[in-house]
Structure 1
Amino acid sequence: MSDAEWAAVRPLLPVPAWLEGRGGQPEGYCHRQILDAVRYLLDNGIKWRAIPADFPAWDRVYAFFRRWRRQGLINEFHDRLRSRVRELEGRQAEPTAAIIDSQSLRAADTVGAGSRGWDAGKKVGGRKRHIAVDCGGLLLAVRVTAASVQDRDAATPVLERLRELHRKIAVVWADSGYVGRLVGWAKDALHLALTIVRRSDDQKGFVILPRRWVVERTLAWLMHRRRLVRDYERLPATHETMVMWSMTMIMGRRLARGRPALTRQPKVPSTRRPG
């Protein structure tokens, strides 16, 4: 990462336990080197053992990655970055709305049979990642399941997690794959207004739909990381962590620029009827 990006993200890193007198010992490598190694692996889709010798030893990098996942430190770091980026863009730190969607991925041989399946709709065998994002496309929640799991079934724990982490969220937009009893359950159990953005029957080809294009763009951002183009992780929780690391790269670069990202919003067809 650049010096400007490191200066922006360094104050947001979780404080090591040994600095606060809570035990442990100082780490043998600089956090910047470790973060760069994890980002290199994610961006280039290499194996852990293939991390170049310019970085710390691969087993030390993996130990850092695993410790941050188990102790929830990556979640803490990611959420701090998201709050800072939202404030930079003139938004409140906590979101009030979200968009949910899923994406099926082919799985490598390292993915066990117990956590993989077949998506009959997309004709993909592997896993499926379900994400919820804010109105700017920043990640709020992620869950990885077998590709055979229906969107409506996976949405239940995702929405529960979303309500647990973000109490201010009142409305969630989704596509027609989430229609059914889930809408009533979300309203009664979680006090969330799950709004279905439908595609018109007379629309042909690729059409940008209101609100839904935001989460589709985030899914496209994730595909920029070669490690996320295909699922190589033995544990679904590891893939979820990889998704969060990918979003930290996007947010860190935004903070380094010191100004909101100049993203051109596509023209969305009006939902109003003529007259």
Structure 2
Amino acid sequence: MQSRRAYPSDVSDEEWALVAPYLTLLPETAAQREHNLREVFNGLRYVVRYGVAWRAMPHDLPPWHAVYDQAQRWLRAGCFETLVHDLRAVLRLASGRTEEPSAVVLDSRTLRSTPESGARAAWDGHKRTRGSKLHAAVDTLGQVLALHVTPANADDRAAVARLADAVQEATGDSVNLAYVDQGYTGERAAKAAADHGIAMEVVKLPEAKRGFVLLPRRWVVERAFAWMARFRRLARDYERLPATLAGLHPRRLQRPAPPQGR
């Protein structure tokens, strides 16, 4: 590997030792491998961390098309989902929890569109933003379980069935409770969750609200969104393909959270 000055986004030796087995789809000696795999991963991390266009990648990293093509291979192979699943289990056990959660938190965030993603963008009247909506399910430590991308005008209730199905698939049907906000009220959402064995509990704002109020349970998903927003590529919808937008979110390494609640 050619020596160069390290970027802050470069993977550390400890991180690479963890992720390399998940990202190695071909042997190191494979004829079709032209670039060092760690450097390719560093290129992807650079794009996600700093939000640059693929073609604007630094010249001392592998060519942008090599990084993009390999990233798509990783996404199609489910490499990041497998990594996040295993890491989530380790973090839960380290926090004194069971390996799989019994409760999740559902929420969504609207990402402003860009020319690349504008074809699927829509107007979110509540957030007063045109873009895409990222629906997420996290466990009570804030670790991602499921993601789904829709136009920003999509109703949160309509995404419950898909999120619930993905959550149960990821956890082996261990989840029986979902904490949600008042945007998920109604029989339709409750039935969609119940069809997958999940009861929904709406966490409401205090009636006499003054200023910012930290809601029980639900704050962990807001923190997860804040973690995502620290990566510039995830702060807006820059992707032509919704699967790429959803797939890049689990790419960030999950971070441990202190034990809290269930």
If the TM-score is normalised by the length of the shorter chain, which range does it land in? Answer: 0.7 to 0.9
1:6 aligns with 2:16: yes
Describe how 1:246-261 pairs up with structure 2 within 5 A: 246=252, 248=253, 251=254, 254=255, 261=257
Q: Which residue of 2 aligns with 1:185?
A: 192
Q: Which residue of 2 aligns with 1:70?
A: 76
1:131 paired residue among 123, 128, 136: 136
Which protein has greater RCO, CA pairs closer than 8 Å, 6+ apart? 1
CA RMSD of aligned residues (A): 2.1
Q: Which residue of 1 aligns with 2:170?
A: 165
- Is 1:98–1:172's contact at 8 Å kept on the other side of the alignment? yes
Quick one: distance in 1 between partners of 2:139 and 2:259? 17
- Is 2:102–2:177's contact at 8 Å kept on the other side of the alignment? yes
Q: Which residue of 2 aligns with 1:220?
A: 226
Q: Which residue of 2 aligns with 1:118?
A: 123
1:155 aligns with 2:160: yes
Provide the identity percentage: 38
Q: Which residue of 1 aligns with 2:151?
A: 146
Q: Which residue of 2 aligns with 1:80?
A: 86
Per-residue displacement from partner, 1:107-166 (whole Å, max 9, x unpaired)? Answer: 0011143x2111111111111101000111000000111000011112221112112222
- Is 1:14–1:76's contact at 8 Å kept on the other side of the alignment? no
**Aligned partner of residue 244 in structure 1, secondary structure:** coil
Note the C-alpha offset of 1:58.
1.0
**Aligned partner of residue 210 in structure 1, secondary structure:** coil
Question: Which deviates more from structure 2 when the two are superposed, residues 169-178 or residues 157-166?
Answer: 157-166
Give structure 1 regions of 4+ aligned residues with deviation exceeding 4 angstroms. Answer: none
Structure 1 stretches of 5 or more lacking a match? Answer: 255-259, 269-275
Amino acid at match of 2:95: E
Q: Which residue of 1 aligns with 2:205?
A: 199
Quick one: distance in 1 between partners of 2:129 and 2:51? 20
- Is 2:141–2:259's contact at 8 Å kept on the other side of the alignment? no
Quick one: distance in 2 between partners of 1:29 and 1:92? 40
Quick one: distance in 1 between partners of 2:19 and 2:241? 28
Quick one: distance in 2 between partners of 1:144 and 1:4? 32
Judging by fraction of residues, say which structure has more helix.
Answer: 1
Q: Which residue of 1 aligns with 2:7?
A: none
Amino acid at match of 1:117: A
Quick one: distance in 2 between partners of 1:131 and 1:243? 10
Per-residue displacement from partner, 1:206-249 (whole Å, max 9, x unpaired)? Answer: 10010010000001111101111111111111100121113x2x
Q: Which residue of 2 aligns with 1:48?
A: 54
The structure-2 alpha-carbon separation of the partners of 1:32 and 1:86, relative to structure 1 and needing over 3 Å to count, comes to farther
1:29 paired residue among 25, 35, 39: 35
1:239 paired residue among 242, 245, 251: 245
**Aligned partner of residue 245 in structure 1, secondary structure:** coil
Per-residue displacement from partner, 1:37-76 (whole Å, max 9, x unpaired)? Answer: 1111100000111111221111110110111122222222
**Aligned partner of residue 6 in structure 1, secondary structure:** helix
1:16 aligns with 2:25: yes
How many residue pairs get matched?
A: 248
**Aligned partner of residue 104 in structure 2, secondary structure:** strand
**Aligned partner of residue 56 in structure 1, secondary structure:** coil
Question: Which deviates more from structure 2 when the two are superposed, residues 54-63 or residues 154-163?
Answer: 154-163
**Aligned partner of residue 9 in structure 1, secondary structure:** helix
Quick one: distance in 1 between partners of 2:79 and 2:17? 19
Note the C-alpha offset of 1:96.
1.5
Q: When the two structures are superposed, what TM-score results if normalisation uses the length of structure 1?
A: 0.83
Structure 2 stretches of 5 or more lacking a match? Answer: 1-10
